[in-house]
Structure 1
Amino acid sequence: MESIEGKKRHNRIEQSYIGRGEYPVKSLVTYLSTLNLRNSISMASLVIALVIITGCSTSQSTSTPPAESTSTSIHTEHSMSMDHIGTTAIAPEGSVSKRPAQITRTPQTIKSKTINLIAQTSYLEIEKGKFLPVWTFNHSVPGPQIEVMQGDTVNIHLKNQLKVPVSLHVHGVVLPNDMDGVPGMTQDAIQPGESFTYTFKANHAGTYWYHSHQDSLNQIGKGLYGSFIVKQKQDNVSADHTLVLDEWSDPNTVVPANENNTLAINSNMGAYNIYTVNGRSGDDIEPIVVHQGDHVRLRLIHAGNMTQTLYIHSSAYRVTATDGQDINQPQLLNNGLLVIAPGERYDIEFTADQTGLAWIGMVGKSTLAQSVRIPILIKKANTTPTSTEIQQQISAQRKQMTSIPDITQPSLDLTTYGQPTKSEFTLSSTFDREYTLDLDMGVIDGKMSYTINKEAYPQVSQLKVKTGEAVKITLINESKNEDHPMHLHGHSFEVLSKNGQALTGSPIWKDTINVRPGDTYVIAFRANNPGMWMVHCHELHHAAMGMMTDVIYEDFESQYHPDPAAGNISE
C-alpha cells in the first residue's frame, strides 16, 4: 500500500509540471534544422542516428556487459503524464556580429559569507566579433567564483531578472533539504522579479559549483552556473586557479570542413560547435601564469554535457581530490590523460620547478578538441610580465601545444590510484538497504526515454531509506555507447568496486560518478541527511528524458507545498 509520504510526493510531482506549455520548446527535428549540417548527411538519417541508435559520445570500453541483476526497489505508480519526455531541448539562439549594448564581464571572485547574485540576460563574446545571447549570474559566464572558508554559514541572495523562473543548486555541497534548489521538490522556482535566499553551512573544504536546477538542460546550457570553492584555513598552495569547461551550440558558427568528429555531435540531441574554458574559446582562452617555486592547484569543473578526455602536459603532478573529496597519498603522474564527465570536479596540484610552458588540452583529432589548449606559463620568481609579453611567449610555443598525444595510453583509473586507508564501507559491510539501478534507453508511453530499471521519471521506483541506515547502490550502464554521469544530491558516496573488482588504491568519495558503457559500479552512503533528494544523470539531455529517481527518507516529513502556478521544472 502506498505511504502517505509517497502520495504527497506524487502530488508534488504532478503540480511541479503544470505550466510546462509556457516554455518555448521545440522538437528535435526543428532544433537540428537550425544547425549547420553537412550536405552529405540527411536530416532524416541524423534523427534516426540520434534518437534510435543513440549515436552520441562514443566510448572505447570493451567491458563485458554485466549479468542481469534484480532490483530490490519497490515500484510506485505515478499518475503524471510523460508528455514532457524528449521535448525539453530548446533551439539555441544564434550569435550576432554587431556588438550588443550589454556584454558579459570577466567573472569576479566574491570572498564573502554573504553573496548577492542576479540572474539576467547578456551577450558572451564567444569568439572575436561573435556575441552569443546568454543568461548569466552577475553578467558573467561563468558566474562569479564564490569563495568561503570551511565552517562558514553562507547566505546567497538570488534575484531573478529573467523572464522565466530559476533556482540555485550548489552541486556537491551537503545542504539542508530545503536549500537544495530543486523546484517542485524542495522549493518553488523563483519567479521573474522575485528573490530567494539560500542559507547553509559549508562544512567540507573542496571544489564545487552552483547552477540553476530549474529546466537545467536549457538554463545551464545558456550560462547559469559558476564555481563554489570552500577553502581550508590552512592551505599549502601559493597559486589557485579554477577552470570551468563547457560546450555551446551556435547555429551561426560553421563546423570546419575537415571536422573529423562528425558534425560535432557528441551528446544525444546536443550538437556542440564551440568549446570554452571559463567562457573563452580557442586562442582567447585565458592563460594561467605562475612563478617558479609556486605550489599550484588547478580546479577542473565540468559544466557541459560531454565526457571529455584531457591531456595534462606536465612532467610531475598529482590528482589530489575529486568532487571535493581528498585522495589519500596520490602518486606523481607524468603527461597523462584524465577523463572528466559532466558534473565532476578534479583538483590537480604540481610544483612549478622550471620556467617554461605546461598546458592542458582536450584529446581528439577534431579541430574542436584541438581548439581547447590551456597554457600554463611558468615565469621566473619575482617577475611581473605584461599581457603582451605573456601572449608573445605563448604564441612562440603554440605549435607545441597543438601536438596530439598518444590517445591509446590509459587514462587515470581512480579505483587503483592513491594509497589504501581505513574508510567507512567495504563490499563486506552490512547494509540496511540495497538497490540496483540499470541505466539504459527505451520507449515509455510511446516516447524515447532514458531509463532506470526500464522506467522513466517520474514513473520510476524511488529509493526508500531511513535516517542512519547504510545504503548500497549498484549502478549498471546497459547503454552501448553512452556515458551516464550519475549525481546524488545531499550526500557523498564511497565507491566500493568497479566491474566486480574492489578498489585497491585510496578510498574514493564522490557525488557524481561516470558510469561508462558496460561498466558496473557499487557505491555506498550513510543516510545522514533527512529529506527528499534527486539521483539523476548529469548528461542533462538524459535527465530531461527520464533518467532520474529520488532518495526518499521514510522518517522525513516535508513542510514544502508546491504552488501549481509556479511552473516548476525539476530536472
Structure 2
Amino acid sequence: MNRLWLYLSSTTTKTSLSLTYLLMILLIAGCSSTAQPTTTPPNSSTSNAQHEEHSMSMDHIGTTASAPEGSTTERPAKITTLPSIIQNNQINLVAQTSYLEIEKGKYLPVWTFNNSVPGPQLEVTEGDTVTIHLKNQLKVPIALHVHGVVLPNEMDGVPGMTQDAIQPGASFTYTFKANQAGTYWYHSHQDSLNQIGKGLYGSFIVKKKQDTVSSDHTLVIDEWSDPHTTVPESESNTLAINSNMGAYNLYTVNGRSGDLIEPIVVHQGDRVRLRLVHAGNMTQTLYIHSDAYRVTATDGHDINRPQTLSNGLLVIAPGERYDIEFTADTTGIQWIGMVGDSSFAQSVRIPIVIEPKGSKRTLTEITKKITSYQAQMTSIPSDHQQPLDLTTYGQPTTSEFGLKSVFDREYTLDLDMGVIDGKMSYTINQEAYPQVSQLKVQTGDAVKITLINESKNEDHPMHLHGHSFEVLSKNGQALSGSPIWKDTINVRPGDTYVIAFRADNPGMWMVHCHELHHASMGMMTDVIYEDYQTKYHPDPEAGNISE
C-alpha cells in the first residue's frame, strides 16, 4: 500500500475525487492491521488448512501505508539494463534489486527480473512447452503469474492458493504449454500491488507459427510514485484518468519517460504490429496518431475483420492488452500519446519513425528528426471524439455463447465500496475478500457472470485467472461487432457487462480487480471447481500474500 503515502504527505489532491473517496483514503491510513475474520468452512474440494492460509494471506488489507522509496540524482553503482528479448522456451529469471534511470539524471530504486524494468520480453511460439526457472535474490518472498495464458492450476503462481511464495534465496520452476498466440505479460502475484509497483513484471509474447507482420514492437505502460517528484496535478480530461489512488507522478513506456522513451523505427513498406500492455493501476486513454490502423487483437484474441481507423482514441485499463497493426505506407513521423492535461500524461509521447526503405540513418540523426517534430506531438485534437467501443467493432461471426445460451451456473457481481468490519473496503456483493462468496462450478459447465459497477468515479478492470471469457453484452445491448474474448474487462462507473466462459480448466482460480489497490482492499473472489481436489497444502510460515 505504499503508493498511498503520497496522498497523506501531499497537500494537493485531484479535484475529480469525491469527498467519499478522500474520506476512504484517510480511514485506510488510520486502520489497524487487525485480521479480517475468515469465511465459513470451504467446500470439500479445498482443505481447511489451505482455506485458512489463503484467508490469512489477506490480513494486510487496510494496513498503514509506508512511504515509497524516493529517487536520487546521484548515479548509483548498479543501474538497470535495457530489457532483452529471450527467444527460447527454456527461460531463466532472477529477481534482484537495481536502480532505474526513469528520467534523465533521475534514478529510482526498483525490483527487477534480470536487472531490467520491464523484465526481459519472453518470446515463444504457439504450441511450445515453456519452462521458466525463477530464482529469488530479493529479501522478500515472491511468485510469478503469467497473466492471460491459460495455465494448469498448479502453475498459476498465486501464493496460498496454488503454491507457497518463493523464499529469499530459493527457486521455483514453472512449466506450461503456450497454446494461444497473442500478447500477454508476467508479474509477481505475491503482494502484487507493491511488487509490481516496484518493477516485477515483463511482457510474454506467444507468436503465431506463421505471421505476415514484418516489424513487431511491444510497449508496456506504467505509472510510478516518487516523493521527490512534483505531486500529481489535476487531470480535467476524465477520459484519461478517473482516479489516482496511488498519487502517481511518473508515467513510463518500457520503463522510460519523456525524452528517454525509445522511438519505434520502421521502414516504408513494413507491416507493423504494436503490442500495448498496461502494467499500472490507472485507466489511460491513448491517442493513436495514424491515418490508417486497425486494432487487431485484445488480450491475446483476434478481432474478426476489424475496420480501419484514423487518428483515434483507445482506452486501456490495468491488465489489458491491445494489438495495433498498420502498413508503413509513407515516410515521416506518427506517434502515440497519452491523453491528459498534466505534465505526467504529456510526457508520454511515443514517436513512430517511418524511414525510407533501405535507409541506414543513425539513432542520432533519427533523434534530431524527432526533436524537430516535437511541437506537433504536444497537443491532441479536442474534437470530443469517442474512444473505440469494442462491442461495436469488427464484424460478427459464429461464436460459442450468446445471451440466449443455456447456462449451468449464473452469477452477479456488484462492484462497489463500503465499510466492512470497520475497514473501508472495495466490495463484491457488499462483501470484502475473504468473506466474498465463491463462484462454484463443475467441469464442463457453461458459466455466465454479470458484472455491475456501482462505484461513482472508479473503474474496475476485472481479471479472471485460468480462463478466457466471451463478452456478451454491454449495458443490456448485445455485441454488434466481432465476438470479443478477453481475460480482463474494464467495467467503468455505471456500466454492466455480461460475460461467459466454459469451465474447462479444473482448479481454484482468482477473480479480482486489476486496479491492485482495489484487489488488496477486498475486491476479489475465487472460482472453485467442486470436482477438483488440490494436492497443495500451504505452509503457514511462508508469508503468503496472494494479492
Assess same fold via TM > 0.5.
yes
Cα gap change, 1:39 to 1:389, in 2 (>3 Å): same
Deviation at 1:84, TM superposition (A): 2.6
- Give, in whole Å, the separation in 2 of the partners of 1:462 and 1:76: 12
Tell me which residue corresponds to 1:145: 121
User: Where in structure 2 are the equivalents of 1:49-64 lying within 5 Å?
Assistant: 49=23, 51=25
Q: What are the equivalent positions in structure 2 for 1:385-534 lying under 5 Å apart?
A: 385-406=361-382, 408-534=384-510
Aligned residues: 523
Question: SS where residue 148 of structure 1 aligns?
Answer: strand
Partner of 2:194: 218
Match in the other structure for 2:135: 159
What is the rounded CA distance, in whole Å, between the counterparts of 2:13 and 2:146 in structure 1?
42
Tell me which amino acid in the other structure corresponds to 1:212.
S
Identity among equivalent positions (%) equals 78
5+ residue gaps, structure 2, are 29-38, 43-50
- Does 1:227 find its partner at 2:200? no
What does residue 187 of structure 1 align with? 163
| Cα distance between partner residues in 2 of 1:328 and 1:117 | 36
Displacement after TM superposition at 1:259 (Å): 7.5
Quote the residue 1:9 is aligned against.
Answer: none
Supply the distance in 2 between the matched residues of 1:90 and 1:158 (Cα, whole angstroms): 28
The Cα of 1:260 is off from its aligned counterpart by: 6.3
3-state SS in 2 of match to 1:271? coil
The separation in 1 between residues aligned to 2:74 and 2:209, in whole angstroms, is 46
Q: What CA distance in whole angstroms lies between the structure 2 residues aligned with 1:39 and 1:235?
A: 47
1:241 paired with 2:201, answer no
Q: Show CA shifts across 1:76-99 (max 9, x none).
A: 788757753222754310001111
SS at the partner of 1:482?
coil
How far residue 26 of structure 1 moved from its aligned partner, in angstroms, is 6.3
Give the corresponding residue for 1:66: none
Tell me, what secondary structure is at the counterpart of 1:472? Answer: strand
Aligned 8 A contact 1:207 1:345 in 2 = yes
Q: Where do 1:533-548 residues align within 5 Å?
A: 533-548=509-524
Instruction: Give the residue type in structure 1 aligned to 2:7.
Output: L
Superposed CA offset, 1:115-159 (max 9, x none): 000000000001111100000000000000000000000000000
CA distance, structure 1, for counterparts of residue 468 and residue 14 of structure 2: 47
Q: For the Cα contact (< 8 Å) 1:89–1:217, is it kept in 2?
A: no
Distance (Å, rounded) in 1 between the aligned partners of 2:302 and 2:67 = 39
Q: Distance in 2 between matches of 1:235 and 1:75?
A: 50
Whole-angstrom CA distance in 1 between matches of 2:387 and 2:529: 37
The answer as to 2:31 corresponding to 1:32 is: no
Report the Cα offset of residue 265 of structure 1.
Answer: 8.8
Residues 76-155 of structure 1 aligned to structure 2 (within 5 Å): 83-87=59-63, 89-155=65-131
Q: Work out whether residues 134 and 172 of structure 2, in 8 Å CA contact, stay in contact via their aligned partners in 1.
A: yes
Q: Which residue of 1 aligns with 2:149?
A: 173
How far off its partner does 1:32 sit? 3.3
Q: Could you list the runs of 5+ residues in structure 1 that have no partner in the other structure?
A: 1-24, 55-73
Q: What is the alpha-carbon distance in structure 1 between the residues aligned to residue 533 and residue 287 of structure 2? A: 47
When residues 40 and 384 of structure 1 are mapped into structure 2, their CA distance, relative to the original with a 3 A threshold, is closer
The answer as to whether partners of 2:3 and 2:225 remain within 8 angstroms in 1 is no
Q: 1:419/1:266 Cα in 2 relative to 1: closer, same or farther (>3 Å)?
A: closer
Q: Which amino acid aligns with 1:428?
A: K
Q: What TM-score comes out, normalization by structure 2 length?
A: 0.91
How far 1:404 sits from its partner (Å)?
2.0
Does the CA-based 8 Å contact 1:181-1:187 persist in structure 2? yes
Alpha-carbon distance change, 563 to 39 in structure 1, aligned in 2, over 3 angstroms: closer
Deviations 1:215-273 (CA, angstroms, capped at 9, x unpaired): 000000000000000001100101000000000000001248898689x9964531100
Q: Secondary structure at the match of 2:411?
A: strand
Mapped partners of 2:233, 2:475: distance in 1: 40
Moved more, 539-548 or 407-416: 407-416
Q: Distance in 2 between matches of 1:518 and 1:399?
A: 37
Residue 311 in structure 1 maps to residue 287 in structure 2: yes
**What's the offset of the Cα at 1:454?**
0.4
SS of residue in 2 equivalent to 1:517: coil
Distance 1:556 1:407, change over 3 A: farther
Residues 47 and 500 of structure 1: CA distance in aligned 2, closer, same or farther (over 3 Å)? closer
CA distance in 2, matches of 1:76, 1:496: 34
**Cα distance in structure 1, aligned partners of 2:14 and 2:146:** 43
Distance 2:185 2:435 in 1: 29
Structure 2 CA distance for partners of 1:248 and 1:421, relative to 1, 3 Å: same
1:357–1:375: 8 Å Cα contact kept in structure 2?
A: yes
Cα distance in 2, alignment partners of residues 26 and 321 from structure 1: 34
The structure-2 alpha-carbon separation of the partners of 1:416 and 1:260, relative to structure 1 and needing over 3 Å to count, comes to: closer
Question: Partner residue of 2:261?
Answer: 285
Q: Is the 8 A contact 1:461 1:549 kept in 2?
A: yes
Tell me the TM-score normalised to structure 1 length: 0.88
Q: Does 1:337 align with 2:341?
A: no
Q: 2: distance between equivalents of 1:27 and 1:335? A: 34
Counterpart-to-counterpart distance in 1, 2:403 and 2:421: 38
Deviation at 1:366, TM superposition (A): 1.7
CA distance in structure 1 between the partners assigned to 2:355 and 2:133 by the alignment: 40
Q: Distance in 2 between matches of 1:261 and 1:352?
A: 31
Change beyond 3 A, Cα 1:265–1:49: farther
AA in 2 matched with 1:214: Q
Q: In structure 1, how many angstroms separate the alpha carbons of the residues matched to 2:383 and 2:433?
A: 37
1:89 and 1:218 in contact (8 A); partners too:
no
Matches within 5 A, 1:321-400: 321-400=297-376
Amino acid at match of 2:263: P
Aligned CA distance change for structure 1 residues 46 and 254 (closer, same or farther; 3 Å): farther
SS in 2 for 1:183: coil
Partner of 1:565: 541
Residues 151, 203 of structure 1: 8 Å contact kept = yes
The CA deviation at 1:301 is 0.1
What is residue 22 of structure 2 aligned with on the other side?
48
Please tell me the residue identity of whatever aligns with 1:527: A
CA RMSD of aligned residues (A): 2.4
Secondary structure (helix, strand or coil) at the match of 1:146 reads strand
Question: For the residues of structure 2 that align with 1:216 and 1:90, how far apart are their CA atoms?
Answer: 16
